[in-house]
Amino acid sequence: MTMHKSVDVSVDAMLEDLRTLVEIESPSRDRDALRASATAVAAVIESRLGGQAVLVESAAGPHVHWSAGGDPAVLILGHHDTVFPLGTLERRPFKVADGQATGPGVFDMLGGLVQAIHGLAALDDRSGVEILVTADEEVGSHASRALIEERALACGAVLVFEGAAEGGALKTGRKGCGTFEVSVAGRASHAGLEPAAGVNALIEAAHQVLDIAALGRPEIGTTVTPTVASAGTLDNVVPAAATVIVDVRVESADEKERIEAAFAALAPHLDEAEITVQGAVGRPPMPESAAAGLFAVAQRLLPGIEGRAVGGGSDGNFTAALGVPTLDGLGAVGGGAHADHEYLVIGAMAERAHLVTGLVRAIQQA
């Protein structure tokens, strides 16, 4: 099995659509901006594929859903929200130069959406194909998870258009990831006159940070990283409250359960201090077994393409955890996700669009 190189895919047309999407800023949680973005995504889908792309309302903003009709067979999954605040485009406008496209969201993940749409446009038969582009992936997918899982189960195969791994590799596994917030309640007092009358929440938080960091098991892929801490009000007041935010990544369901139980069991070191914990490993691990079959097809279509397990999470974690075959990292080749140097490699766009065409055709014929 090889890709059909005769497929007509225009890089210029893809760049035109990419410019359209990038120049409508879409920061997560900004519902007005996300509505404009969703409308633009729907218009691009309809112009290239026909039919009607429906805006699905949610608390986070509108998702975009399109179906070619027929028995559901494959879900094309992406998101249109980005991490960049309004105004980023003015400072870092969309630009094409030196073989790269740059601008907020080109790699994560507007470029992948455009490649997917154009790859599907090259298919004579799109029956069974669905597209779901969500509005809240960058902030946890709380308002889209149920819909993602519903459509994944209905379709039976999922292709995720997050940016490729380093060197253009596909993403065949992902760690489960989550965020925990540990809040410490102490008691304020004058730091000079009667420090012993207080319960120092900052000192308690320091104890908790050490306990939390010790939960990591990097030798088996579990990282537990305190990332943000806050405490205190004035330099002469014993802190009455403190907060610690922790990033967690795990490779197995057993480690997810161990970590969640360990956070629930955190106990104070200081008398009268109180600990409250919120959070969970919200995205379950994506095992490499979930991608094995689809990755084998991709290797036949594009010999030499590599697969890689990565630490970051995506909505593919949810679909893989359901047992639905899921292949990720099919989007843009490039780098700099969430950073000012974000870029997309223009020379890889046509090949990735062809890969979409071949994968969907293979799924339809299976």
Query: Given pLDDT bands bounded at 50, 70 and 90, which one contains residue 94?
Result: very high
Tell me the two tokens of residue 149: 């899982």
pLDDT in tens, 213-235: 999 999 999 999 999 999 999 99
Residues of the chain with pLDDT > 70, as a percent, come to 98
Residue whose token pair is 């900052």? 202
Q: Does the active-site annotation cover 137?
A: yes
- In the set 81, 108, 162, 315, the catalytic residue is 81
pLDDT at residue 7, rounded to an integer: 54
Q: Does the active-site annotation cover 138?
A: no
> What domains appear along the chain, each with residue ranges and CATH number?
11-175+286-365 (3.40.630.10), 176-283 (3.30.70.360)
pLDDT in tens, 155-172: 999 999 999 999 999 999
The beta strands (E) that lie in 188-266 are given as 223-231, 241-250
- In the set 17, 25, 136, 137, the catalytic residue is 137
Tell me the two tokens of residue 85: 């605040």
Predicted model pTM: 0.91
Does the pLDDT of residue 1 top 50, yes or no?
no
* Cβ-based neighbours of 276, under 8 Å, separated by 6 or more: 182, 183, 185
Rounded Cα gap, residues 175 and 255, in angstroms: 11
Rounded Cα gap, residues 48 and 21, in angstroms: 14
